[in-house]
Structure 1
Amino acid sequence: MRTQFTRELVALTNDLTLMCRLAHDAAERVTDALADADLTATYEVFALDEQLQQMYSACEARTVVLLALQAPVARDLRHVVTAIQIASELSRIGMLISRAAEQVYKSHPEPVAPRPIMDLLMAMGRLAAHRTAIAGQAVATGHQPPAEPASDAPTMDELHQQLHAALTGPVWSGPTDASIDIALVGNHLERCVDHTARIDRLIRFLDTGIPPTAQPEDAP
């Protein structure tokens, strides 16, 4: 019985790792789609999100079976509960990236935004992909990855502030509805990073037993 349970946990972790890879690939492809008004990349994002949602449903079903039939306790229970929460966060990342891709589809053949603003959106997309890759490493190992070295690269909050300033400044002269659509793309990408931060906290909970709500704000 214990051996079967261990196998199920390993399979669950493998599924979550694959979901992280799908989310990362989707973030990279939506960045490509934004950069080139690329419909092929846009369709790939939709397909990756569909796979993500299917895997989320499978993970949800697997965790329900584990809880119902195995009645795990202590760390095993923490593992199962954390897994479904991580799967939920990854599902949301996929949906947010898909919504950003929908704007590329809507704007095609024109780009979503002029080049100075597009550069900001692309930077946000690259950062979302990077943060998702780091989350994938944490999920695969069950531990927080080593802290990244200090960098002068802007944070997602800084990029979002720059985007807001660009849309309300002289660089942008488009209609209000277009500025709202662009702001939504930025918001979707920003929220992806918010979800990776929640995954970080869940991995810390799995590793240490400290609930996410009890972790300090600056916890990795």
Structure 2
Amino acid sequence: MREAYHVELDELAGNLAKMSAQVATAMETATKALLDADLALAQRVIGDDAKVDDARAECEEQAYALLALQAPVATDLRTVLAVIHAAESLERMGDLALHVAKAARRRYPNNALPDVVRPYFSEMGEAVVSLARRTEEVIKSRDVDAARSLEADDDRVDEIHRHLFSVIMAKDWEFGVAAAVDITLLGRFYERYADHAVSVAKRMVFVATGKMPGYGPGDDF
């Protein structure tokens, strides 16, 4: 019975890792759709979003069943609780990729991004997809040091996000209000995506150590 129980726990963590891979692919595809004004890619992300929602529902159903039937304690309980919270963050990451794809679709056949900001979104896209891929590995390994290393990429996304405001507020901005609004929203989508990836990694630190890393300034992670 205990062996079967631990197999179920491993399956639960594996399903969460698969969710992270799903949302990484979604944002990678959405970013390409945004940069290339590719309607087919945007539609693919939009159409696949329901799969992420289904994956969250499956993770939660499995987690609640383990809570009800097995009454896990210690590390096992932390694993189940972390999966419930992390699945919510991963679903939100999928939603943010969806928003990027919808922005690309909304401006098609035009590109939603003026050339002056395209390099920033290309860099943010690479950074957040890397975060999601590395989060997948952290879920599998529960490597605390690997989880902590995600902070650097998140900080870089934050820097770019802040810099975008100076670009659109500059006196020589010539692309109008609509483009500025698009850039503001899109930058926020990438920034929040990165934050959710770090949140999932923190949940894995909680599983491994029993201590939830702090979220405030000066807190250790």
Matches within 5 A, 1:86-101: 86-101=86-101
Alpha-carbon distance between aligned partners in 1 of 2:219 and 2:110, rounded to the nearest angstrom: 41
Q: Measured at CA, do residues 183 and 193 of structure 1 come closer, stay the same or move farther in structure 2, by a change above 3 Å?
A: same
SS at structure 2 position matched to 1:72: coil
Matches within 5 A, 1:5-154: 5-146=5-146
Q: Measured at CA, do residues 65 and 216 of structure 1 come closer, stay the same or move farther in structure 2, by a change above 3 Å?
A: farther
Alpha-carbon distance between aligned partners in 2 of 1:214 and 1:186, rounded to the nearest angstrom: 21
1:164 equivalent to 2:165? Answer: yes
1:200 equivalent to 2:197? Answer: no
Alpha-carbon distance between aligned partners in 2 of 1:217 and 1:46, rounded to the nearest angstrom: 38
1:218 offset after TM fit, Å?
5.6
Alpha-carbon distance between aligned partners in 2 of 1:60 and 1:116, rounded to the nearest angstrom: 42
The amino acid across from 1:17 in the alignment is A
SS at structure 2 position matched to 1:197: helix
The amino acid across from 1:169 in the alignment is A
Alpha-carbon distance between aligned partners in 2 of 1:212 and 1:47, rounded to the nearest angstrom: 35
Q: Measured at CA, do residues 85 and 109 of structure 1 come closer, stay the same or move farther in structure 2, by a change above 3 Å?
A: same
The amino acid across from 1:196 in the alignment is A
Alpha-carbon distance between aligned partners in 2 of 1:77 and 1:43, rounded to the nearest angstrom: 39
Structure 1: gaps of 5 or more residues = none
Q: Measured at CA, do residues 217 and 21 of structure 1 come closer, stay the same or move farther in structure 2, by a change above 3 Å?
A: farther
User: Percent sequence identity over matched residues?
Assistant: 30
**Structure 2 length as normaliser, TM-score?**
0.90
Structure 2: gaps of 5 or more residues = none
1:20 offset after TM fit, Å?
0.8
Tell me the equivalent position of 1:183: 184
SS at structure 2 position matched to 1:155: helix
Q: How many residues align?
A: 219
**Structure 1 length as normaliser, TM-score?**
0.91
The amino acid across from 2:3 in the alignment is T
1:37-75, CA deviations, whole angstroms, 9 ceiling, x for partnerless residues?
011211222234221111001111111111111111111
Alpha-carbon distance between aligned partners in 1 of 2:171 and 2:107, rounded to the nearest angstrom: 22
Alpha-carbon distance between aligned partners in 2 of 1:102 and 1:196, rounded to the nearest angstrom: 21
1:216 offset after TM fit, Å?
7.9
1:115 offset after TM fit, Å?
0.9
The amino acid across from 2:36 in the alignment is D
Q: Is the 8 A contact 2:37 2:110 kept in 1?
A: yes
